[in-house]
Structure 1
Amino acid sequence: MKTMSDYGVTPQAWGPFAEGQFGIFTNPILTEIGRAHGKTAAQVALRWNIQRGVVVIPKSVHRDRIEQNFDIWDFSLSKEEMAKIDTLDMGHSSIVDHNNPEFIKMLHSLKIHP
């Protein structure tokens, strides 16, 4: 995140729930913190990212979950809670391998402007 900040880049989490992998919705740390705030593990994960300055783009096709994803603005995580959640950060994407030359080649082939 520091390198991104140094270059004026705002990080985005296009898959802030890791596509439901790794038991994120039932993670003991996230559920414990969520219970203290009356929130779900997913809401805690979104709030953690928001408080770190990450723009989150969660995906769901279920109306109730979409509404829950918006319901993260009425609480804040303490420094201690943020630190607990930080221990879960793998330090890399679990969805794509940014070090894979073929993936990088594909990214560079995308045209976002006509």
Structure 2
Amino acid sequence: MKLDELDLEKIKQIRLNKKIAIEELSLALGYKTRYGYQHVEKGRRKLPAFKMPTLSRLLGTPIDDLYKKNSNLAGMDKSVKYCDGSLESVPNAREERTKCENL
């Protein structure tokens, strides 16, 4: 799954509809300035897969709904258990699970 299959326009519309400032979302996703996330939303930078659960939670939208409709999500292992024991849905879960285990 390539992250360029995110529906960036839909993500932006959800953020605007929920009146979430780009600065707020950027900081919540771990960027130091508003421009970190703004570059993602404009397609200039890829959003790392491990940030997808946070973005999904902040927007109140399932991760699958943040992808373009023609994305092929079938057959993916989309659940990952984080170090705190919580379960989330995220693309590339196998990679994320490895990161968690190495902490």
TM-score (structure 2 length as normaliser) = 0.33
**Larger Rg: 1 or 2?**
1
What is the TM-score when the length of structure 1 is the normalising length? 0.31
